[in-house]
């Protein structure tokens, strides 16, 4: 449709501050979102980044229940602060695959509601989950709208799009992921005008889906000039036919090529002798590629009231997860940063299940020099390395160095520990050493590990694994593997099982 036959651009947002609105500040797209939101009860976003779009939706459409996820800890903290005053918003520090598993636990109370999806989990260092997301939505949800960000708009190089290795973010890439029972219509932008002064045009695709008859959105007067129909219930009108090769990027299109991380490996052991348990953990419902740490931990920590130590509790995200999974758990939250420890103490003051310790876990009791970084989750007893600062920039710069109390864990928590979680930015072996002989009584260890030196003098994965193996533990699985934009594996989480309580693959007791 020629531009002069379309309606005028809806209230261009020229002059707005970056971050004030979501959806790339695209005024046409914002008009579409408003129309869709008025016909939805739930907004689900994958990849919230800093929470700009999530915050915009929550404040503009306060009746919508908003669910979102963000795996990057620094971005998650910014996003959580961005929507802290919005009670209808729930944001999880999870990858999209983990988030789908969380949605699966909500059940029909969610799946039967008309839902607007914004699929934007395209971040560096994480598996590209787009096909899994669409398959999950098709299997579970009854009706709604799926907006896919950074999507190739065929024939319109004005719109930027993403490419992950050899795969273009396009209809041809995702069409086979649609549920067989879906009726669907696919729409593309019907405009080429850029309305934001600080965002380039980014492509999008809209899939309208349901189990029953679907109306034609492009015939709605309010959406004139915003979108145009490309395909209806499998009858293609796009220039990317079914079965065709992946579309090639136009020489004038804005194409973003992103690497993808490898998926975590599954592990299980059977036929355990009497007295030791065979570890068994369920796969993620609907998604076999990525495993959820806490789904596995619930199966491994087989008691209703486990004693859990959260080393490096930060703002309490893991404490909340533990209490949600084990309502009768006893949790010791250990946090070295004084301001965060005070925040935790206030937050859990009325909860007898949680004990907060303002200290750093270490091999010796005393005082410890502690590096506080611009984003709190990177703070550590070790200084950030030049490699980490190159990767993450100013947000991991040390803003102050303080002295904090250091405590041995065997003095801090004298009871046997069922689950020991350590996220200490390279200080994990120090904390494990502080357990002394009582390490042999710990059932399961969940620890962050580094594969590249993110901190000065940090032990790497091989060092942590060797330490725990020598203490009688065996690696169960790795989770949330992070890579740099160049593809270098940098960090992740691991679960180790005590061979005195579990049958290990090599038969060690």
Alpha helix positions (H), 118-212 = 130-140, 171-174
> CA 430 to CA 422: how far, in whole Å?
11
Write phi, then psi, for 507 (nearest 5 degrees): 80, 5
State the pLDDT at residue 180. 73
State the pLDDT at residue 358. 97
State the pLDDT at residue 275. 55
Q: Quote the DSSP letter at residue 286.
A: T
Distance of CA 244 to the CA centre of its chain: 32
Q: Which residue, 236, 53, 254, is CA-closest to 169?
A: 254
> CA 331 to CA 371: how far, in whole Å?
26
State the pLDDT at residue 153. 93
Alpha helix positions (H), 7-118 = 27-37, 52-60, 73-82, 96-106, 108-111
> CA 169 to CA 128: how far, in whole Å?
10
State the pLDDT at residue 271. 40
Residues 6+ apart with CB under 8 A from 405: 358, 359, 360, 366, 367, 368
CB 340 within 8 A of CB 376: yes
State the pLDDT at residue 279. 63
Q: First vs last Cα of the chain: how many Å apart? A: 72
E strands of 214-353, at which residues? Answer: 227-232, 235-236, 255-258, 307-311, 330-335
Which residues lie across from 367 on neighbouring strands?
Answer: 405
- The token duo for 115 is 């839902």
State the pLDDT at residue 140. 86
> CA 25 to CA 227: how far, in whole Å?
17
Residues 6+ apart with CB under 8 A from 346: none
The count of other CB atoms within 10 Å of the CB of residue 333 is 27
In the sheet with 307-311, reading across from the earlier edge strand, the strands are 354-358, 330-335, 307-311, 419-422, 444-450, 489-498, 473-483
3-state secondary structure 404-456: EEEECHHHHCCCCCCEEEECCCCCHHHHHHCCHHHHHHCCEEEEEEECCCCEC
The count of other CB atoms within 10 Å of the CB of residue 155 is 12
Residue ranges and CATH numbers for the domains of the chain are 3-258 (3.40.50.150), 293-498 (3.40.50.150)
CB 192 within 8 A of CB 158: yes
In the sheet with 398-407, reading across from the earlier edge strand, the strands are 360-361, 398-407, 366-373
Pairing of strands 489-498, 65-69: unpaired
**pLDDT per residue as tens, the chain (509 positions):** 333 333 344 443 333 333 456 888 899 999 999 999 999 999 999 988 888 899 999 999 999 999 999 888 888 888 888 888 889 999 999 888 888 888 988 877 788 889 999 998 765 455 688 988 998 898 888 889 999 999 999 989 889 888 877 788 999 888 888 877 678 899 999 999 988 776 788 999 999 988 777 888 878 888 888 999 988 764 433 333 333 334 444 434 444 443 333 333 233 333 444 456 666 443 333 333 446 788 899 999 989 999 999 999 988 888 988 998 899 999 999 999 999 999 999 999 999 999 999 999 999 999 999 999 887 788 999 999 998 888 878 878 888 999 999 999 999 999 999 999 999 999 999 999 999 999 999 999 999 999 999 999 999 999 999 999 999 999 999 988 888 778 889 999 999 999 999 988 875 55
> CA 55 to CA 411: how far, in whole Å?
44
Distance of CA 497 to the CA centre of its chain: 25
Q: Provide the 3-class DSSP secondary structure of residue 73.
A: helix
- The token duo for 498 is 């005590």
- Tokens 């004005």, residue? 158
Angle between helices 73-82 and 52-60 (to 10 degrees): 20
> CA 104 to CA 111: how far, in whole Å?
9
> CA 466 to CA 463: how far, in whole Å?
5
State the pLDDT at residue 123. 53
State the pLDDT at residue 459. 95
Pairing of strands 227-232, 235-236: antiparallel
> CA 24 to CA 429: how far, in whole Å?
44
> CA 25 to CA 351: how far, in whole Å?
43
Give the torsion sign (CA, 82, 84, 86, 92): positive
C-alpha separations of 440 from 248, 276, 501 in Å: 57, 14, 10
Write phi, then psi, for 116 (nearest 5 degrees): -105, 120
């Amino acid at each position: 449709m020629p531009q002069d036959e379309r309606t005028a651009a809806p209230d261009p947002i020229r002059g707005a501050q970056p971050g004030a609105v979501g959806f790339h500040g695209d005024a046409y797209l914002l008009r579409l979102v408003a129309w869709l939101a008025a016909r939805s009860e739930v907004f689900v976003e994958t990849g919230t980044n800093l929470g700009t779009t999530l915050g915009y939706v929550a404040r503009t459409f306060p009746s919508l229940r908003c669910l979102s996820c963000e795996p990057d800890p620094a971005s998650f903290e910014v996003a959580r602060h961005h929507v802290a005053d919005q009670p209808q918003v729930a944001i999880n520090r999870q990858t999209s695959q983990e988030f789908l598993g969380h949605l699966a636990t909500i059940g029909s109370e969610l799946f039967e509601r008309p839902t607007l999806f914004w699929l934007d989990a395209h971040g560096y260092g994480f598996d590209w989950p787009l096909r899994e997301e669409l398959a999950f939505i098709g299997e579970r949800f009854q009706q709604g709208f799926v907006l896919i960000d950074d999507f190739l708009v065929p024939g319109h190089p004005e719109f930027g799009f993403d490419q992950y290795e050899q795969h273009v973010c396009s209809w041809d890439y995702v069409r086979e992921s649609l549920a067989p029972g879906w009726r669907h219509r696919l729409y593309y932008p019907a405009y080429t005008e850029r309305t934001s002064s600080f965002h380039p045009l980014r492509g999008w695709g809209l899939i309208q889906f349901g189990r029953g008859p679907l109306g034609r959105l492009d015939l709605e007067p309010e959406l004139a000039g915003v979108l145009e129909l490309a395909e209806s219930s499998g009858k293609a009108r796009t220039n990317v036919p079914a079965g065709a090769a992946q579309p090639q990027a136009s020489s004038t299109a804005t194409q973003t090529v992103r690497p993808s991380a490898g998926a975590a490996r599954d592990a299980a052991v059977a036929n355990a002798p009497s007295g030791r348990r065979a570890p068994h953990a369920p796969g993620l419902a609907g998604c076999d590629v990525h495993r959820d740490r806490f789904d596995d931990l619930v199966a491994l920590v087989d008691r209703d009231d486990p004693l859990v130590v959260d080393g490096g509790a930060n703002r309490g995200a893991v404490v909340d997860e533990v209490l949600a999974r084990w309502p009768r758990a006893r949790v010791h939250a250990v946090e070295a940063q004084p301001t965060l420890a005070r925040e935790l103490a206030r937050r859990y003051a009325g909860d007898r299940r949680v004990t907060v310790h303002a200290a750093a876990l270490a091999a010796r009791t005393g005082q410890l020099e502690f590096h506080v970084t611009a984003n709190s989750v990177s703070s550590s007893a070790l200084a950030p390395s030049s490699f980490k600062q190159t990767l993450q920039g100013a947000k991991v710069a040390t803003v102050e160095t303080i002295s904090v109390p250091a405590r041995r864990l065997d003095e801090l928590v004298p009871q046997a520990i069922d689950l020991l979680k350590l996220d200490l930015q390279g200080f994990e072996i120090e904390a494990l050493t502080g357990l002394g002989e009582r390490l042999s009584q710990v059932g399961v260890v969940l620890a962050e590990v580094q594969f590249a030196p993110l901190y000065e003098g940090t032990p790497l994965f091989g060092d942590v694994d060797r330490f725990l193996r020598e203490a009688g533990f065996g690696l169960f699985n790795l989770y949330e593997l992070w890579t740099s934009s160049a593809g270098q594996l940098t960090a992740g989480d691991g679960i180790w099982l005590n061979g005195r309580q579990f049958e290990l693959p090599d038969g060690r007791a």
